[in-house]
Structure 1
Amino acid sequence: MGFLAGLLPGIHPNQIYFFILLSGLGLEPNIFVVFLASISVSNIVFSYIPSFFLSLPDSSTIVNVLPAHKMVLKGDGLKALLISLTSIIIICLIVVLCLPLFIFLVPLLQKITKPFIHLLLLLLVAIMIIIEKDNSKRFFALFLFLISGIFGIVTLNSKIISSEKVLFPALTGLFGIPSLLFINKGKLPKQNSHEMYVKLNVKVILSGLLAGALAGILPGAGESQAGTVVSLLSRLKDEEIVGSLAGINIANLLFSVIALVETGNIRSGLAESLSTIEIKHYFLLFLGAFIFSLGFSCILCIFFSKWFLKLIEKIDYEKIGRIIIYSTITLTLVFTGIWGLLVLIIATSLGILPLLLGVKRTNNMGFLMLPVILHYSNLVM
């Protein structure tokens, strides 16, 4: 199930989690925990294939798509994938080995930072705008942040379409389809498949671990916001950013479970599902299943990606782009209906603007960030 949720746009693991809960399968707690651990980790691993090679992001790979796609266009797509897989394995092992320390720190950090979430996010927004090249670009960046933020407030609070369902058309429109519309003609550049040496320095691992930890334990701070911080503030190369952002994905997931175990706070769909049982009694089982599934999924992902690349390298990349766009429209209609299609159209229009105005596409993160800022500043219910 995690394999399918990762590969197929429009299927989020949260949908699988909630389906399991609603269907009343009556799984024993130990089987339930292993099942959820396997789904969550395999989804992360396999989601890199469509997000890297087809530019179809979800909420956990939005920022990662941009540097990874640059590597794909240079023929280094497989290297980007290997960097991501190596990063998540290393960070997963660090979290497990340092578990006693993190169990102590997580409740403390949550208590200290919760009153200042909106201020921290406002600081991030200010940095995003200031680093634009000149005042006109800064004005456009602020405009994009506000307009995408208003769009986020309206859609995420809509009673017509659920906030979970609206994420696929919104995020794909803001960050995926615009890249496909502006794609160059010709085939996908031949991807290097020779033996590659992947090296991750301490800065890459630490940035992924710390940013992912903050995303996993702080209310209002998600993977996308953490990824934006790393992308904007670090002086990492594209390869290093890819590794750091992959680390954020896995650290966020693990720390959201640690936060559930230690504080009872729910920070993810996985944590919400695990909260239905006495997770403290099954936490070590969860970690064991998580690590085993991670290793197995990484091996399977490497073999599958090589086959996948051989297939798409033979097809005109512009045609692939059109097929993906048509498929996205179809999936949007199937999963979210006509209102989801309307969201997709509006989001795509907003997603094109940064390319036309020459500003960073991360400014469209206002879609997720502005609603959170308003919520934690008590300006909205």
Structure 2
Amino acid sequence: MILEIGIAIIIGIILGTITGLTPGIHINLIAAIVMAGSSRLLEYFPALYIGTTLISMAVTHTFLDIIPTTFLGAADSDNALTLLPSHRLLMEGRGLESIKLAIFGSFFGLVAIIILTPVIIGHITAAYEIIKDYIQYILIGISIIIIKKSKEPKIAILVFILSGVLGVVVFSLKTLEQPLFPLLSGLFGISALILGIKNKINIPEQIKDLKLNIDNLKIFTNIIVSCIASLFTSFLPGLTSSHTTAVASAINEIKDENDYIIVNSAINTISMFLSLIALYSIDKARSGVIVTLSNIMSVGKLQILYFTAVCLITAFIAIFLTLKLERIFSKFMPRLNYKRLCSCIIGFLLILTILISGGIGIIVLVISTCVGIFCLLTNIERIHLMGTLILPVILYFSL
């Protein structure tokens, strides 16, 4: 059994590496494929092993997705706020610093939330019962706060509404398969890659032996704030890690770009773990991976303990894997033709969109890319593009 579990973890790490390094390929897409073929998979593999692979994949993804965010300037919905700080460090030759900061945040965030889990489980059910009838108002409140903090609130509102209306329309298309894939690939992936080609970015040589000067007290504070903010938002639908980072900034103002990377990475991993806790404590699946997990097996106390161990084992492996891959990227990226690389990734995403979502998916991809480019050209924080998820959720709970 130990051998089989080890193999399941390794498969999850491989899948998480693919999703983490490839812009547009999200763990939720893999989870959807697994769910579609779950009846056949369960004929050959126990549900526990499939669940192990899913959780291992999710953890690995949260460690590795900082690499394309840093080197390609292509973020997903969870790292929208980390994009500028990490890409800026890359252009200063300090890409390794960005990766190490993210690893710090992800690992210590995971450890902290695991320590707090008994307390969370003991109180979260009662807390959720209090807020569940006010979810739409909480989402509206968080959106207003984030828009007011924007450099250009009027343009931020426009971006939020544009992406929100797009989300409402896309999710109403019954014939569209995997609507999130073309929608988020356009908003966060292809839009950034197109501007990367236009701006003719040349990645400088990266500093190899870079030492981090990190204040231990500051890390502790950032991790605690990340846990508090994640508890506030992880049990609400429609919110991403970027929204949680914005809430964390409201709790304890974050000005330093290094702190942003640590906090966002911590929240990314914490939110993944809390989605597992949400399934156990309030029977709500807040991510595609957990939706698939809930469809193939039940999760009780023993399963929570088991998956916690899987998370920790995967995290240790992911640390070394991320550092190794970062060194490979930092060595070869300055030598690669950035324009050609971005063009290849765009072509790859176009092909995947056709295969997964068909002709309608291409239309969605083009429109969402235009909205994403508009957001980037107006220098508005990309978190406002998440109106594409929040507005449909607000309408769902309001109507």
- RMSD across aligned C-alpha pairs, in angstroms? 2.3
What are the within-5 Å matches in structure 2 for residues 1-381 of structure 1? 1-21=15-35, 22-23=37-38, 24-26=40-42, 27-133=45-151, 137-162=152-177, 165-183=178-196, 184-197=199-212, 199=214, 200-230=218-248, 234-275=253-294, 276-280=296-300, 281-376=302-397, 378-379=398-399
Task: List alignment gaps of at least 5 residues for structure 2.
Answer: 1-14
Displacement of 1:317 after TM fit? 2.8
TM superposition outliers: structure 1 runs of 4+ over 6 Å = none
* Letter in structure 2 aligned against 1:277: M
Per-residue CA deviation, residues 191-212 of structure 1 (Å, 9 max, x unaligned), is 2221322525233212322222
* Identical-pair percentage: 28
Relative distance call for 1:83 and 1:282 in structure 2 (3 A) is: same
- In the alignment, the residues of structure 2 paired with residue 188 and residue 279 of structure 1 have an alpha-carbon distance, to the nearest angstrom, of 46
Q: 2:11 is matched with which residue?
A: none
The answer to whether the 8 A contact 1:208-1:246 is kept is no
Q: What secondary structure is seen at the aligned counterpart in 2 of 1:242? A: helix
* Letter in structure 1 aligned against 2:366: I
Task: List alignment gaps of at least 5 residues for structure 1.
Answer: none
* Letter in structure 1 aligned against 2:148: I
Give the aligned length.
Answer: 373
The answer to whether the 8 A contact 1:59-1:167 is kept is no
Displacement of 1:140 after TM fit? 2.4
The answer to whether the 8 A contact 2:76-2:189 is kept is no
* Letter in structure 2 aligned against 1:245: N
Moved more, 234-243 or 360-369: 360-369
* Letter in structure 2 aligned against 1:119: Y
The answer to whether the 8 A contact 1:56-1:172 is kept is no
Relative distance call for 1:216 and 1:232 in structure 2 (3 A) is: closer
Q: What secondary structure is seen at the aligned counterpart in 1 of 2:335? A: coil
Relative distance call for 1:198 and 1:90 in structure 2 (3 A) is: farther
The answer to whether the 8 A contact 1:14-1:270 is kept is yes
The answer to whether the 8 A contact 2:242-2:264 is kept is no
Q: What secondary structure is seen at the aligned counterpart in 2 of 1:191? A: coil
The answer to whether the 8 A contact 2:242-2:383 is kept is no
Per-residue CA deviation, residues 30-87 of structure 1 (Å, 9 max, x unaligned), is 4334323212211222222223211333333333323322222222222111111111
* Letter in structure 2 aligned against 1:155: V
- In the alignment, the residues of structure 1 paired with residue 249 and residue 210 of structure 2 have an alpha-carbon distance, to the nearest angstrom, of 28
* Letter in structure 1 aligned against 2:62: I
- In the alignment, the residues of structure 2 paired with residue 206 and residue 191 of structure 1 have an alpha-carbon distance, to the nearest angstrom, of 31
Moved more, 170-179 or 252-261: 170-179
The answer to whether the 8 A contact 2:167-2:392 is kept is yes
Displacement of 1:29 after TM fit? 4.2
- In the alignment, the residues of structure 2 paired with residue 63 and residue 168 of structure 1 have an alpha-carbon distance, to the nearest angstrom, of 20
Moved more, 103-112 or 289-298: 103-112
Q: TM-score, normalised by structure 2?
A: 0.85
- In the alignment, the residues of structure 1 paired with residue 147 and residue 57 of structure 2 have an alpha-carbon distance, to the nearest angstrom, of 37
The answer to whether the 8 A contact 2:230-2:244 is kept is yes
